[in-house]
Amino acid sequence: MNVFGLVDCNNFYASCERIFQPSLEGKPIAILSNNDGCVIARSNEAKSLGLPMGAPAHQYRSFFNQHNVKVFSSNYPLYGDMSRRVMEVLKQFTPLVEIYSIDEAFLQFEGFEHYDMEDYAQQIRRRVRKWTGMPVSIGLGPSKALAKVANRVAKKFADRTGGVYIIDSEEKRIKALKWLAIGDVWGIGRRHNKRLVLRGIRTAYDFTQLSDAWVRKEMSVVGLRLKNDLEGKASIPLEMTAAPKKAIATTRSFESLIDDYQELRERISTFATLCAEKLRHQNSRCHAIYVFVRSNPFMPNLPQYRNGTMISLPFASNSSLTLSKSALHGLDMIYKSGISYKKAGVIVMGIVPEDTHQLTLFEYENPKHQALMQRIDYLHKRFGPHKIKIANQDLSRTYKMRQAHLSPRYTTDVRDVIRVR
């Protein structure tokens, strides 16, 4: 019998900071979004103080000071590297690992019938903690959905479960599903949650009592697979390779308001170039590009404006030159003078594999673009990102977010390596 597991890092962002500052153990921690805008992660201690998710940092300064909350700017190079280290440890226990998010991974155990899986999971927890410093919770079950449920139990009742819970009997399955609210079921979105609650479905167990025909009709085959998974019939397979993204976005809130049109053009050109680089990285092209701008809604004393436009490309492209030119054309269409802009962004859509795009008869991209982009990507890989820019980008400027509470990049920058005296 196959066993699925879900490994979830406990309070991942806060734990990353604690690993290198052990004195923060047991103290409230808050992690801020880009430009130190709002709270995106909290330690359990911060949650118990009543600090809400999404709390605007500037409105909660007195709260942070009053409760001695340690505040950090997002340190994504550190978080990404710590995630990679955790995932590498997990692969030592089974080759079947699906990296689900930066702090979660599904595992599949084939041929482990004679193993004590609860003890094996504890071994995983101990090694991850010893080798990376990261605390994790592990849920085990006969399907991915039940492993997810088991993980919630393991984390919620950590003092009793020791951070590991396994659903290995019908009694445990039913008990866990009756405990779990329908809105907390993996894969049940807000829209489906409302419809199910109106139908009297309050728990995951209630959901499994619906007929297959109704679930398939109202929630498609995806909902039916979820129902089967919750019943212990594994229907959602492990995804060993990440699916290409259906849309790629580069958006930024500016550190200070932008009034100058040329400065805004430079930002939009840079965003389009970053999207093009991401497309090439996953061997894709796009058919459309969306450009948007907006003022600061938190400054009602200033003129307010927000707008966006979609530009369809005559041919699929991943060229920085083509996407930048199209994005700037979109900006020209929506720009309004007299506005102080706080945020802008570029989103590429209609993404297709690079080797399957359809050629057009009358319009096509300059064939020299592909060779040029390959050379630029090679030079960036060798000498570092953003060394080569197109003409409408500022050669002397690198975008810098507001990060007043940024911790060192302990594992990715040699200048920030901890020194032992």
Q: Has domain 12-76 been given CATH number 1.10.10.60?
A: no
Strand order in the sheet with 39-42: 39-42, 29-32, 70-73
pLDDT of residue 397: 57
* In 352-400, alpha helices (H): 368-383
How far is residue 54's CA from residue 280's CA, in Å, rounded to a whole number? 33
Q: What is the pLDDT of residues 230-288, one digit of tens each?
A: 999 999 998 866 666 678 999 988 888 999 999 999 999 999 999 999 999 888 889 89
Average pLDDT per consecutive 10 residues, the chain (421 residues; last block may be shorter): 92 95 94 86 94 91 95 91 94 93 94 92 97 96 96 95 96 96 93 93 96 93 95 89 76 89 93 92 90 90 93 87 93 94 93 68 62 74 70 58 81 77 69
What does pTM read for this prediction? 0.75
pLDDT of residue 414: 73
Architecture category of domain 3-8+79-230 in CATH: 2-Layer Sandwich (3.30)
Q: What is the pLDDT of residues 281-335, one digit of tens each?
A: 888 889 899 999 999 988 889 999 999 999 988 888 898 899 999 999 999 999 9
How far is residue 244's CA from residue 282's CA, in Å, rounded to a whole number? 7
CA 2 → CA 62, 92, 113, distances in Å?
51, 18, 8
Residues of the chain with CATH 3.40.1170.60: 12-76
pLDDT of residue 362: 45
CATH code at 248-383: 3.30.1490.100
Residues of the chain with CATH 3.30.70.270: 3-8+79-230
Tokens of 155: 């984390």
Residues of the chain with CATH 3.30.1490.100: 248-383
